[in-house]
Amino acid sequence: MTNCKGVCYTFAMAEIILKSDDLLDFTEAASILGVSRPTIYNLIAKYKLHPVTIGRNRYLLRDELQFIKGKLEDAKLSNSQS
């Protein structure tokens, strides 16, 4: 395993390096998406969001949230144009 800054995990032959600013708690995630925390939990239950567990805490990846936010904005645009 290489020396990394942030959180490092090794799965089989792959190493994943996560920086602390790549991880968001559920309150931050809800704020970014403009939804409530219960909606975040519902999206996780429906496998639309994939939390990362570190110890007893769960986080969401900033990149995944930005992707979902883009999809939500695209859906709003297409609905408003209809």
Could you give the CA distance from residue 35 to residue 38 in angstroms, rounded to a whole number? 8
What is the CATH T-level fold of the domain 22-81, as seen in this structure? Multidrug-efflux Transporter Regulator; Chain: A; Domain 2 (1.10.1660)
DSSP H stretches of helix in 14-54? 26-33, 37-45
Contact 18, 57 (CB under 8 A): no
CB of 29 closer than 8 Å to CB of 48: no
Tens digits of residue pLDDT in 13-36: 555 666 777 899 999 999 999 999
In the predicted model, residues of the chain with pLDDT beneath 70 are 1-18, 82
pTM of the model: 0.70
pLDDT for 21: 79
